[in-house]
Copies of this chain bind each other. A is one copy, B any other.
Amino acid sequence: MATAGRSGVGTNQEDVRRHNLGTALGHVHRAGRISRAELTARMGLNRSTIAGLVAELESLGLADQAKPSGTRIGAGRPSVDVKARTGAYVLAVDLRVDGLTVARVGLGGVVRARATGPVPADHDPYAIADSVVDLMRLVVRDVEPDAALVGVGLGVPGIIRGDDGLVRLAPNLGWHDVPFTKILSERLGPIAMPVLGNDADLGALAEHLRGAGVGVDDLVYLSGEVGVGAGVIVGGRKLEGAGGYAGEIGHMPFLPDGKLCHCGARGCWETEIGAPAIALAIGCPAEQVGALGEFLEGVHEATPDLRAVGRHLGRGLAGAVNLLNPRVIVLGGYLRSLFPLVREDVDAELQVHGLAAPREQVLVTLPGLGGDSVLHGAAELAFEPLLADPVGRLATACLDVDSALAG
């Protein structure tokens, strides 16, 4: 069911419209503002068809047409710009061990409002869900009256089951088979069904769409939170695996008889480049491991121990390069602070352990979205259904979230 594309099902002409409308909206969403002529070129459709699609987006309240803005180049009648109307928005949540961020993100990827709060100390899922809803109330307080909520996305540092959003394992939260999607959806009721994603997966998605990997279809986002996870984009699509668990690169076997990992095995990559290992290397106190990134910011010289970590990082990355052949590897989380210190050691090991062909193609870099990758990824995840079927999704959108959340 693969070779002939799209898993063996036929295409309806209704599907055509849905696909084209969604694709057009996707371009508008990613660009924020794009000319109709550019849309025509990118989508390979006729001018008149694009005009019809844009008109429909406009009537759906998803886009606006405006006079061209940028300085023109060349002759000819200037093309009308299509702007994403930020009235259609999502709620994005970045749940971390050390903090909670909720944002209202408009179509086009603009953060319209954001709020942060602490995570309940015991990591009780019900209490966390309550906190999430509290923060949501804050960010929708001043929303426009005609705005429509089209989705809710959450980034969680754990292994998420794809079909129902069950959190199979989130070691840093102490969660094991926690039905957090269900817990939160009970609090949101008919407002929107929340969608959970692994933090690294969302980082990859965001960097692919709006960060260091724009235009790149093969990308790995390596997330250093406490453990190490990877989000992978291959051929422009998320690598999900059979159950949605793909990307647990931190538990790649790395040393035959290494330290004991929390997963029960020995010698996982994570035991060498995870937060505890780095904390040990730089003398960071155990209770500050959660905020290792900030601690690393204060380090300006790479000690031999830290350089050893860098070599481990490079050697492990070589494995990802050989197996996945990405064009970009984005280092997120505390790796963002670590990488500049040990870049040469990473590169050196990559040089040794990476095969020439894939190694020549890869670029190791920092996130283009700074520390907001996961938050943006959660927003993008929430937008996905809208982009797949604008009309259908809008039919279930919630128009008065403020009072719905108040009740």
Q: Give A contacts to B, CB under 8 Å.
A: 1-13, 15-16, 19-20, 22-27, 30, 42-45, 49, 159, 161, 168-169, 205, 208-209, 215-218, 230, 233-249, 251-256, 263-266, 268, 315-316, 318-319, 322-327, 352-353, 355-358, 361-362, 380, 383-384, 387-388
Task: Please list the 10 inter-chain residue pairs (A to B) with the smallest Cβ-Cβ separation, ordered nearest first.
Answer: A241-B325, A4-B26, A10-B43, A2-B236, A246-B325, A242-B327, A10-B45, A248-B322, A245-B325, A218-B242
**In the complex, are the beta carbons of B242 and A361 less than 8 A apart?**
yes
**Total copies of the chain:** 2
Known A19-B6, A242-B361; judge A230-B1 contact (CB<8 A): no
| Chain B contacts for A27, CB-based, 8 A | 8
Measured in the bound complex, the distance between the Cα atoms of B168 and A277 in whole Å is 38
Question: Most B CB atoms within 10 A — which of A7, A243, A315?
Answer: A243
Identify 5 residue pairs between A and B in the complex whose beta-carbon atoms are under 8 Å apart, listed by A's number: A3-B384, A12-B45, A245-B355, A251-B353, A253-B316
Q: Is the interface of A mostly helix, strand, loop or mixed?
A: mixed
Measured in the bound complex, the distance between the Cα atoms of B267 and A318 in whole Å is 12
Known A4-B23, A217-B2, A361-B243; judge A256-B253 contact (CB<8 A): no
**In the complex, are the beta carbons of B159 and A236 less than 8 A apart?**
no
Known A242-B326, A323-B248; judge A11-B5 contact (CB<8 A): no
Q: Which of B9, B241, B251 contacts A218 (CB 8 A)?
A: B241
**In the complex, are the beta carbons of A252 and B323 less than 8 A apart?**
yes
**In the complex, are the beta carbons of A3 and B387 less than 8 A apart?**
yes
Q: Which of B2, B323, B327 contacts A247 (CB 8 A)?
A: B323
Q: Which of B43, B319, B324, B352 contacts A246 (CB 8 A)?
A: B324
Measured in the bound complex, the distance between the Cα atoms of B216 and A312 in whole Å is 35
Measured in the bound complex, the distance between the Cα atoms of B230 and A383 in whole Å is 34
Measured in the bound complex, the distance between the Cα atoms of B245 and A27 in whole Å is 29
**In the complex, are the beta carbons of A23 and B49 less than 8 A apart?**
no
**In the complex, are the beta carbons of A8 and B20 less than 8 A apart?**
no
**In the complex, are the beta carbons of A26 and B13 less than 8 A apart?**
no
Q: How far is the CB of A237 from chain B (nearest CB, A)?
A: 6
| Chain B contacts for A324, CB-based, 8 A | 239, 241, 246
**In the complex, are the beta carbons of A323 and B325 less than 8 A apart?**
no
Q: Which of B7, B44, B243, B352 contacts A357 (CB 8 A)?
A: B243
**In the complex, are the beta carbons of A252 and B19 less than 8 A apart?**
no
**In the complex, are the beta carbons of A253 and B9 less than 8 A apart?**
no
Measured in the bound complex, the distance between the Cα atoms of B256 and A342 in whole Å is 19
Measured in the bound complex, the distance between the Cα atoms of B9 and A22 in whole Å is 11
**In the complex, are the beta carbons of B248 and A4 less than 8 A apart?**
no
